[in-house]
Amino acid sequence: MEQTAGKPIPPRDPNHVMQLHRLGSFHQSRLSFMRILLRRLEGEGWTFDRPVFDINAKGVGRAVYSAHGPDRSYSLVAFANDLPPEKRSDRVIATEWDATFTLFDGVPTTEDLDRLADNVPKQEAGRVSEKELSLSRANRSVRLWDHVVDCLSKGQQPDRQKVADVGYLMRTTAVYGSGKFGAADREMTADRPEFLAPFQVEMLSVFLTRAFVMDLVEHMAKMRAPDTAVPLDPDLRRRFGIGNSTGLGMAPFLLNHPALLNNWIGAREEALSRIRSLETAHATEVETFRRFALRARLHAEEWTSEHPVQIEKLAALRKDMATLLAHLDSLDLTADMPWNRLWLWAEGALSVEGQELLASLLMEPYPHLVDGMATCMAADEPATWRINGAMPLEELRALVKDIYGWALDIDWTAREAQARVWYTSEAKLEPRLGERFEEDLDAYEQPLCPGRDAARMHADLQASNEATVAGFLMRHPEHRHVARRAQIAGRLPYAEIRDNTIDASVMPIDMLRLKLSFFGACHFDPRSDRWLRINMYQHAPFPHELGDRSGDDWAYPFLKEGVV
Amino acid sequence: MSWSLNEIETLSRKAARGAGLSWGLAEEAGKAARWLTAAGLPGPQVLADLLTRNDGADYETLCPMEAEEDAWVAKGGTLCPLISGAVLCDNAQRLGAGELTLGRTAAPMLLLPYLDAAAQQCGTALTIRWNGTAITLGDSAQTSGQGLDAALAEGITITAGTSDQTGTALQKQTRGDMPAEVAKTLTAFAERTYAPETEASRLSGAGAGLTDND
């Protein structure tokens, strides 16, 4: 029996949580958008079909994958391409891809498909309409693709180790949603129950993309050798996720959507606080937790990276998992606020990676305390966006000290403190990070350094005699952007990253990982300080398997038979 | 061409920044163009025209000052609606409590989104009038008169409450049409915010590092 009498444990302090090294150590959880989606698809008994699959021996053609829910249908429209190797690049500046996609609102007609065939393969250079909800593309992992086609066409299964080393056959390199390149605005679909939680359009698109990619690889093997080719073994097939290569574009998103960021982190912190506040735990809940910890250890073992920072973090994480599992054996977790005791121990015993993995693991035994929070993760951004001009200036001064106190302690005249500049390049509007003192970029700086901007505003706030925010901003329009941020973060405690985003030592991949962890990605593999690769939906059921296999329990690798 | 509201907002925000407005003001200009489009009004057109006219003008000459009580004018002679709109919105409580007049103002249509936000903030309908045109903002927004797209207006009044003229309700739109020349003008302003391409920035700015074809 759960009791939440006693003193509830409050959510963690934003000054502690909202630091980049911690946000950059987040892991997927029950609140990840992929898991929210698959729970719904399974729970509502969505059905799936493939009305079009017209792809030739060179791998060129089109396919349609439809998902039918209680009220509406959606279709992934896929265009497969025979891409010359020299054109394969995951950068935004690429112009051709192995496959391109859009998520269509409904089931497309042949006319729709012809219109999309003229536009979707061009991606940013094409144009879609309000009937389309997303636009995306993917490139093959050449090293694994060729191996799998080769094996299957000879009637053999691919090498398990090779599959484990890469983890996917294609990686998406951008999944555009909400109104981009002519697509429907999020506002047009946001009130549909299936899209209430964030990024459900994009997650559905990727889920169907994975099904397409696996069908395509089997199709290519069959086209090569119709007499000998075999399909993938179903268990091995589920070990393939969809990769993703993500660059700096995700970082501005987090800073440009403070209310949304607050609601993501706030939901996670509320879940953690509820679980830490439990007076007791049932033996079955403790056992569920332990099983997930074993699976998380397996995930940590399979997770590889060549990046020195991640190599170090992974070594610490593997050690953390051993420490945690050993500690569990010595602990009675059924009484005396067990999870809070475990948490307080972890704060001293585990690395930041390990602590944040524990936060995710603690949610696993408690779907009834956690899953409902999914509905709180979207944001009514307009409701918190307007500046409150009537606020006394003294109050804004206090907000700045509270939210940006860390930034007021920084010596902003030091070169290291503002060594970097966020800017947008002329070429395909690629978001980039430059060196302020080596390149002439100041004039193009994007407002993605709230700490520095707040410190600048603080100096003018100290000197101002104005009584209200309205009067102050009339004289200082240059502070309007950060004044808005401060007011939003004053209302929403997790809205602001409380760290220096332009410091010489900043690792933008921390911001990317934060966002991707909420998507539900795993196997974060930084390829530099500015881009990384991940895996999505690895071990998840395919659309036709949902119902027979859980839409919720797949995000950690499964234990081998006999492991206890 | 049919544009999403998100595209119109993004392009307008960048254009306003490119034309010299601070980031905070530019963000609100983007929302304003979007709001007008969603209300069936030619937001991007009016914005493109205004930015062209005010290109290079100093904030100090465009921003409002209180010439006498409850009467705002621009030092430079003509108020910019993007700046005045933001200031009006910041003073929402004051608008809900009385009447305010504005001296000569460029493209007054651009004030509407800000007044709509102000009406939400102060919880009262607000009515703005110029040259026989009256627009009520708030829960039951409506317009009357022909001068909505005036390039300039004098003697603008903003009062709490609804208009007594019978008007037409604004038509909610989910997409926008933008003439090609308007898109071109806004794009040209927006391009000022993009850093010129250099080989060094191409290689390092997005983090080249390891191969991405494997």
Contacts of B195 in chain A (CB under 8 A): 423-426, 432, 434, 441, 444
Q: Residue B209: what pLDDT?
A: 54
Strands A168-176 vs A132-140: parallel, antiparallel or unpaired: antiparallel
**Which pLDDT band, with edges at 50, 70 and 90, does A3 fall under?**
very low
* Average pLDDT for chain A: 95
Tally of domains in chain B: 1
Cβ within 8 Å, pair B213-A184: no
**Backbone dihedral angles phi then psi of residue B74, each to the nearest 5 degrees:** -95, 140
Q: Residue A4: what pLDDT?
A: 47
| Percent over 90 (pLDDT), chain A | 93
Residue B207: closest CA among A378, A245, A514, A441: A245
Residues forming beta bridges with residue A65, ordered by sequence position = A76
For residue A544, pLDDT over 60 is answered with: yes
Pairwise CA distance, residues B107 & A2, whole Å: 62
Contacts of A385 in chain B (CB under 8 A): 31
Question: Minimum mean pLDDT among A101-110, A193-202, A427-436, A513-522: which range?
Answer: A427-436
Q: Are A124 and A428 in contact (CB under 8 A)?
A: yes
Cβ within 8 Å, pair A426-B191: yes
Cβ within 8 Å, pair B202-A434: no
Instruction: Show the DSSP H helices in chain B as ranges.
Output: 5-18, 23-38, 43-54, 59-62, 81-90, 92-97, 112-122, 180-191, 199-204
Q: Residue B70: what pLDDT?
A: 87
Min Cα distance A434 → chain B (Å) is 6
Cβ within 8 Å, pair B4-A182: yes
In a domain, B213, yes or no: no
In a domain, B205, yes or no: no
**Which pLDDT band, with edges at 50, 70 and 90, does A419 fall under?**
very high
Cβ within 8 Å, pair A474-B22: no
Instruction: Show the DSSP H helices in A24-101 as ranges.
Output: 33-43
Pairwise CA distance, residues A369 & A453, whole Å: 39
Cβ within 8 Å, pair A484-B198: no
For residue A562, pLDDT over 70 is answered with: no
Tell which A residues from 319 to 378 touch B, by Cβ distance under 8 Å.
none
Mean pLDDT in residue range A282-300: 97
CA distances, A243 to each of A302, A353, A399, A533 (Å): 15, 22, 41, 7
Residues forming beta bridges with residue A391, ordered by sequence position = none
Summarize pLDDT for A352-378 with one digit per residue, the tens: 999 999 999 999 999 999 999 999 999
Q: Residue B167: what pLDDT?
A: 85
A467: contact with B, CB 8 A cutoff: no
Nearest residue on chain B to A132, alpha-carbon basis: B4
Mean pLDDT in residue range A400-426: 97
Pairwise CA distance, residues A405 & A399, whole Å: 9
Cβ within 8 Å, pair A483-B63: no
Min Cα distance A227 → chain B (Å) is 30
For residue A564, pLDDT over 60 is answered with: no
Say which amino acid occupies A330. Answer: S
Residues forming beta bridges with residue B160, ordered by sequence position = B126
Contacts of A93 in chain B (CB under 8 A): 202
Q: Residue A2: what pLDDT?
A: 47
Q: Residue B176: what pLDDT?
A: 96
In a domain, B210, yes or no: no
Residues forming beta bridges with residue B164, ordered by sequence position = none
Mutation site for B-interface testing, chosen from A178, A480, A509, A532 by largest number of B Cβ within 10 Å: A480
State ipTM.
Answer: 0.95
Pairwise CA distance, residues A76 & A242, whole Å: 15
Q: Residue A496: what pLDDT?
A: 98
Min Cα distance A376 → chain B (Å) is 23
A448: contact with B, CB 8 A cutoff: no
Nearest residue on chain B to A483, alpha-carbon basis: B24
Pairwise CA distance, residues A279 & A7, whole Å: 9
Q: Residue A427: what pLDDT?
A: 82
In a domain, B212, yes or no: no
A387: contact with B, CB 8 A cutoff: yes
Contacts of B191 in chain A (CB under 8 A): 426
Min Cα distance B153 → chain A (Å) is 22
Cβ within 8 Å, pair A185-B174: yes
Mean pLDDT in residue range A454-462: 98
**Which pLDDT band, with edges at 50, 70 and 90, does A280 fall under?**
very high
Pairwise CA distance, residues A295 & A560, whole Å: 10
Nearest residue on chain B to A445, alpha-carbon basis: B193
A481: contact with B, CB 8 A cutoff: yes
DSSP letter at A336 equals S
Cβ within 8 Å, pair B24-A477: yes
A177: contact with B, CB 8 A cutoff: no
Mutation site for B-interface testing, chosen from A91, A145, A171, A185 by largest number of B Cβ within 10 Å: A185
For residue A1, pLDDT over 80 is answered with: no
Cβ within 8 Å, pair A247-B207: yes
Q: Residue A86: what pLDDT?
A: 86
Q: Are A105 and A133 in contact (CB under 8 A)?
A: yes
Q: Residue B214: what pLDDT?
A: 66
In a domain, B80, yes or no: yes
Q: Residue B205: what pLDDT?
A: 74
Instruction: Show the DSSP H helices in A96-189 as ranges.
Output: 110-117, 142-153, 160-166, 186-189
Summarize pLDDT for A482-506 with one digit per residue, the tens: 999 999 999 999 999 999 999 999 9
User: Which pair of structure tokens corresponds to residue A176?
Assistant: 């555009």
User: Which pair of structure tokens corresponds to residue A234?
Assistant: 């179903």
Of B6, B25, B197, the CB nearest to A179: B6
**Which pLDDT band, with edges at 50, 70 and 90, does A300 fall under?**
very high
Residues forming beta bridges with residue A552, ordered by sequence position = none
Of A139, A247, A426, the CB nearest to B195: A426
Residue where the block lists tokens 């399979």: A302
Nearest residue on chain B to A477, alpha-carbon basis: B22
Contacts of A129 in chain B (CB under 8 A): 2
For residue A476, pLDDT over 80 is answered with: yes
Of B7, B90, B210, the CB nearest to A387: B90
Q: Are A504 and A497 in contact (CB under 8 A)?
A: no
A89: contact with B, CB 8 A cutoff: yes
Helix (H) or strand (E) holding A492: none
Cβ within 8 Å, pair A439-B201: yes
A251: contact with B, CB 8 A cutoff: no
Cβ within 8 Å, pair A130-B175: yes
Cβ within 8 Å, pair A141-B210: no
Tell which A residues from 2 to 41 touch B, by Cβ distance under 8 Å.
none
Of A481, A482, A528, the CB nearest to B209: A528
Helix (H) or strand (E) holding A421: strand A420-425
Cβ within 8 Å, pair B207-A427: no
Per-residue pLDDT of chain B (214 residues; tens, 9 = 90+): 899 999 999 999 999 999 999 999 999 999 999 999 999 999 999 999 999 999 989 999 999 998 888 899 999 999 999 999 999 999 999 998 889 999 999 999 999 999 999 999 999 999 999 999 999 999 888 898 888 999 999 999 999 998 877 789 988 999 999 999 999 999 999 999 999 988 777 777 776 655 656 6
Q: Are A163 and A144 in contact (CB under 8 A)?
A: yes
Nearest residue on chain B to A172, alpha-carbon basis: B212
Residue where the block lists tokens 């609606």: B81
In a domain, B44, yes or no: yes
In a domain, B207, yes or no: no
- Count A/B contacts: CB-CB distance under 8 Å: 165
Instruction: Show the DSSP H helices in A495-546 as ranges.
Output: 508-519
Residue B194: closest CA among A314, A329, A189, A429: A429
**Which pLDDT band, with edges at 50, 70 and 90, does A325 fall under?**
very high
Nearest residue on chain A to B200, alpha-carbon basis: A439
Contacts of B190 in chain A (CB under 8 A): none
A304: contact with B, CB 8 A cutoff: no
Cβ contacts of B200 within 8 Å, gap of 6 or more: A439
Q: Residue A111: what pLDDT?
A: 98
Mutation site for A-interface testing, chosen from B61, B90, B116, B204 by largest number of A Cβ within 10 Å: B90
Within 10 A of A71 (CB to CB), how many other CB atoms are there? 9
Min Cα distance B63 → chain A (Å) is 8
In a domain, B84, yes or no: yes
Of B7, B121, B213, the CB nearest to A386: B121
Domain that holds residue B148: 2-166+177-200
Q: Residue A41: what pLDDT?
A: 98
pTM: 0.96
Strands B99-102 vs A241-246: parallel, antiparallel or unpaired: unpaired
